[in-house]
């Protein structure tokens, strides 16, 4: 991010405002299907996670303030979110009306092939294929880069 707008340089209240902005984006994108009680995940770069320990003017830790505002929110550290373009934070609604936002896709979880007998040993091959993340509802994800 631009010097001065990273979470390292922001106050607790300014970081909280960033989270509010992300939440507002989710509410807008979902046309109100996502609300304060929705099951949410906030995925943040491990590098900036220390900023959640900042205190506001009342001595309350930022992490606690976020958890009080969104009671069903989980905070996850994602090392890969520390990118060359800045640190990334995503706010994700886990599901809407019971339908998941995303899931990991597999052709088959794991397959054991036939056992090969050799003169003094046995050998067995195993294989699996994955599709990666299947994102069903992109509007359930809001992100901010450069925090």
Residue range 61-80: average pLDDT?
Answer: 96
The whole-number pLDDT of residue 127 equals: 86
135 φ/ψ angles, rounded to the nearest 5 degrees: -100, 105
Confidence of residue 36 (pLDDT cuts 50, 70, 90): very high
Instruction: Look at 1 and 137; give whichever has higher pLDDT.
Output: 137
Give pLDDT tens digits for 95-138. Answer: 998 899 999 887 777 888 889 899 899 998 888 887 888 999 99
Residues 80-93: b if buried by 16+ CB within 10 A, e if exposed: ebeeeebbbbbbbb
Torsion angle in degrees (nearest 10) through CA of 50, 52, 58, 60? -100
Instruction: Tell me how far apart the alpha carbons of residues 131 and 101 are, in angstroms, rounded to a whole number.
Output: 16
């Amino acid at each position: 991010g631009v010097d001065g707008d990273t979470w390292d340089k922001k106050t607790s209240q300014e970081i909280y405002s960033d989270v509010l902005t992300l939440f507002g984006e989710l509410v807008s994108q979902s046309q109100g299907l996502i609300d304060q009680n929705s099951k949410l995940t906030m995925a943040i770069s491990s590098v900036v996670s220390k900023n959640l320990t900042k205190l506001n003017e009342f001595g309350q830790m930022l992490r606690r303030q976020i958890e009080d505002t969104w009671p069903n929110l989980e905070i996850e550290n994602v090392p890969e979110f520390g990118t060359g373009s800045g640190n990334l934070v995503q706010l994700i609604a886990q599901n809407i009306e019971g339908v998941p936002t995303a899931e990991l896709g597999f052709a088959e979880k794991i397959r054991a092939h036939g056992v090969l007998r050799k003169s003094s040993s046995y050998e067995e091959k195993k294989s699996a294929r994955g599709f990666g993340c299947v994102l069903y509802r992109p509007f359930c994800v809001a992100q901010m880069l450069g925090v």
